[in-house]
Amino acid sequence: MMWVEGLFVVALAGWGAAFRWLPAWRWVILAFGVAVFWAVGSGWVASLLMADLRVPPIDPLPPFAAQVSIVVLGGGTVYDEDQGHFVPRRDSYMKGEAAVGLYLNCRQAASSCTVYLSGGDPEHHGITEAEAFRRELIGLGVPDADIRLEARSRNTFQNAKYINAMLGDAHGSQMFLITAPYHMYRALAMFERFGLHPIPLSSSLAPPKPHDPLRLVRPLLENIRLTMLGVHETLGMLQLRLYAALGWY
């Protein structure tokens, strides 16, 4: 998502340049900047973007089949000072919790349940997203024997491509797809590209950290983060539709 951050920096630099070099328009430029900051900081822009990206939940979920595949998509890793190693980012950790809950319900239904963890190391942290997930899921009670790692993918297209190649005899199994709510729409489109039609299960967004030193400005920062994620996913969907129209997808 670095290019989205770059886009925001360029927009801010453009606003600053206009404010400096167009003195006759400074009040208009200032008012525009304040309006944009309010729209982003209040969460209004994020709400609009997320509403378009939201996949309605399936409630209740269908009964578990005899063979179940649970696919969890990575979303980056971050170094945890307390644990001394890289762990899934906070929204990704929520995907893991959703996967554990689904897995335990699946086992309770006496089904054969396999968890596929998908994600390479696009951030070059020295550990794949899949491996970081694996460590967390084992700690939450999922047996290692029921976990499969897909550790090559660097984007959503590759998540779907490599999981499709891994499934083998499990292609006919009931499949659940777990990812963040803002990512689900595009993820489903990618999986359908490979003839896979998983049942979507969006994870929750990460709750506020306890004892957060930035708690006074955290709502503002969270709205900015969700706006950037919404822009990233919206542009990703536009790219997907363009490629489909050109016959590249």
Predicted confidence (pLDDT) per residue in 133-162, tens digit: 999 999 999 999 999 999 999 999 999 999
| Phi (first) and psi of residue 111, to 5 degrees | -90, 160
Residue 7: the pLDDT is 66
Gap between the Cα atoms of 214 and 216, Å rounded:
6
What count of other Cβ atoms lies within 10 Å of the Cβ of residue 186? Answer: 21
Per-residue pLDDT, 221:
81
Instruction: Give this prediction's pTM.
Output: 0.87
User: Which residue's entry shows tokens 């503002």?
Assistant: 220
Task: Outline where DSSP puts E strands in the chain.
Answer: 67-73, 77-80, 85-88, 112-118, 147-150, 174-179, 199-202
Residue 11 has what pLDDT? 78
> What is residue 236's predicted lDDT score, i.e. its pLDDT?
87
Position 144 scores a pLDDT of: 96
d(CA 205, CA 199): 19
Q: Which residues of the chain have pLDDT under 70?
A: 1-8, 210-212, 214-217
